[in-house]
């Protein structure tokens, strides 16, 4: 077997120079390329993650603002509606207010209220299932338990 010095001695100078230039040019280029790729990959991942966090933060703010606006609207209705509004003469007035609210807020699907004497006013006006008793609904029971506090329940 030949040792390394003997093998290198047999290689022509042209080949040795070519190998040296290739090693000098390609190896650093590969190192720079790989490290640049890894840095770009890390930066892109961080940018995407930060963008997602920013979008979630914006969405959270929008949802909070919408819920706060609805909380204000509900508080207003709770203050202006009284037991007397459920009598036949006044219920149409409440119905008109609810209809107007639905028109002004297209994101609201339904608005309704019920009294302890089983009066039920809702908008938009639609068919109520026969035998429907709002006093037995979970939303009514939860609202009574909340004792004046606003609740959020399943539709």
Mean pLDDT in residue range 28-40? 95
State residue 69's pLDDT score.
93
pLDDT at residue 1 above 60?
Answer: no
State residue 133's pLDDT score.
86
pLDDT at residue 59 above 80?
Answer: yes
pLDDT at residue 84 above 80?
Answer: no
pLDDT per residue as tens digits for the range 121-148? 888 887 788 888 888 888 888 888 888 7
Burial class (CB in 10 A: 0-12, 13-18, 19+), 113: buried
Mean pLDDT in residue range 57-71? 95
Mean pLDDT in residue range 86-108? 86
Mean pLDDT in residue range 16-23? 86
């Amino acid at each position: 077997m030949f040792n390394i010095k003997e093998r290198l001695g047999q290689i022509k100078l042209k080949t040795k120079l070519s190998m040296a230039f290739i090693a000098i040019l390609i190896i650093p280029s590969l190192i720079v390329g790989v490290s640049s790729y890894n840095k770009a990959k890390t930066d892109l991942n961080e940018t995407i993650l930060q963008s997602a966090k920013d979008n979630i933060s914006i969405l959270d703010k929008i949802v909070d603002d919408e819920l706060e606006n609805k909380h204000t609207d509900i508080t207003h209705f709770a203050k202006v509606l009284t037991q007397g509004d459920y009598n036949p003469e006044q219920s149409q007035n409440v119905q008109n207010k609810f209809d107007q609210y639905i028109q002004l807020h297209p994101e609201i699907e339904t608005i309704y209220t019920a009294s302890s004497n089983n009066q039920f006013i809702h908008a938009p006006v639609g068919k109520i299932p026969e035998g429907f008793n709002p006093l037995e609904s979970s939303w009514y029971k939860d609202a009574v338990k909340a004792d004046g506090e606003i609740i959020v329940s399943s539709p």
